Amino acid sequence: MDLTDDDRALVNVLQLAPRISWQDAGDVLERHPTTLAARWDRLRATGVAWVTAHLLGDPAKMTLSFVDVDCELRGRDAVEAALCTIPEVVSVEESARNRDLVLTVVTPGWEELTRGILPRFARIPGIIKYQSAMCTALHAGADSWNLEALSAPQRARLRGVAGQRPAGYTGPPPASYWPIVQALSRNGRATAAEIAAATGLHPATARRQLNRVLAGGTLAFRCEVAQDYSGYPVSCQWFASLPPDERDRAVEVLRGFRSLRLCASTTGTSNFTFIMWMRTAAEVLEIEDRFLAAVPRARIIESSLTVKFLKRVGWMLNPDTTATGEVVVPAPPTEEAASL
């Protein structure tokens, strides 16, 4: 089932400007703000689309890694449930080849990954083995993917009202601001009044802290859409090997695919990976042919379809990829983490 044209246009606006006001969104789409707000409430209530926020760590220290997990077949459900409770494991997927699960893990630094998260995996009953590939360069992420449902005039109007993004990462938010961070993880469009009601903060305090978090560049906001409703129900990840001097060419070629969801250089047997959302599995061969024709020295080691998404950027998903409403929010920093 696909979204309607009006649904797709609204989601597209929020993908490009997640916290845009309904008044400005109405100007872009030429719809009444209350109509758009009601449409969004329906999409969010049914789990078809949602806006979340995730922490941005210090680019010089934070780690992004992809972890392959093999587990006992009879214990898979318990393993998945245990992994999904870990805030640093931001995404969990079931794979069709060579691994049972694929995890996306984000930590503030190397010590948190090696002393905290990876040893925790080893203590989960039912996990047979795991292996990690570290991201050495993120060339494209899912936040740059969008439905491309807006017309040229609509995109121009959106650029005119979207405003400027924060200048960049300015450091982690104070520990006292963590209720703001967690509230925005659950609802990236939450207002100061909604945050005050959800956290018990005084409205003036909620407004002041929210404005500081928004201006500080410590959070990235993303409008997600249930894949089964997007028109692109098939997800495939490729693992490739290519010479260092072909990396820029490979990235340039892949950025030409509108279906690109991730492109990264990694450590491991393969040194390059990318993910695309597609209309059908038949597109896998076409994408490989186009990629290898443009980057002939590249070698595709493996392609793997995802058969089930359990968690995406902290949000738990139903079998039809809609959001359940349950969110594993970022854990507040601990004294132990601060000492690492």
Domains held by the chain: number: 1
Residue 59 pLDDT: 77
- Residue 198 domain boundaries: 173-209
Sign of CA dihedral 294, 230, 162, 31: positive
Q: Which residue has the tokens 């459900």?
A: 77
Would you say residue 270 has pLDDT above 70? yes
* pTM greater than the 0.75 cutoff: yes
Nearest in space to 83 (alpha carbons), one of 57, 39, 122: 122
Higher pLDDT, 56 or 310: 310
**Do residues 215 and 166 make contact, with C-beta atoms less than 8 angstroms apart?**
yes
Residues in the chain: 340
Instruction: Tell me the percentage of the chain whose pLDDT exceeds 70.
Output: 95
Would you say residue 339 has pLDDT above 60? no
- 200 domain-assigned: yes
Distance of CA 231 to the CA centre of its chain: 18
- 177 domain-assigned: yes
- 196 domain-assigned: yes
Q: For residues 171-183, give the mean pLDDT.
A: 86
Residue 337 pLDDT: 42
Determine how many CB atoms are found less than 10 A away from the CB of residue 72.
13
pLDDT band at 162 (very low <50, low <70, confident <90, very high): confident
Residue 268 pLDDT: 84
Task: Report the alpha-carbon distance of residue 121 to residue 67 in Å, rounded.
Answer: 10
**Average pLDDT of every residue of the chain:** 92
Q: E-strand spans in 99-204?
A: 101-107, 127-140
- 99 domain-assigned: no
Nearest in space to 30 (alpha carbons), one of 198, 153, 119: 153
Q: Which two tokens stand for residue 231?
A: 């028109």
- 96 domain-assigned: no
Tens of pLDDT along 309-329? 999 999 999 999 999 999 999
Q: Which two tokens stand for residue 92?
A: 């969990």
- 191 domain-assigned: yes
Measured in degrees and rounded to the nearest 5, phi and psi for residue 80 equal -60, -45
Across the chain, which distance is largest between two alpha carbons, in Å?
60
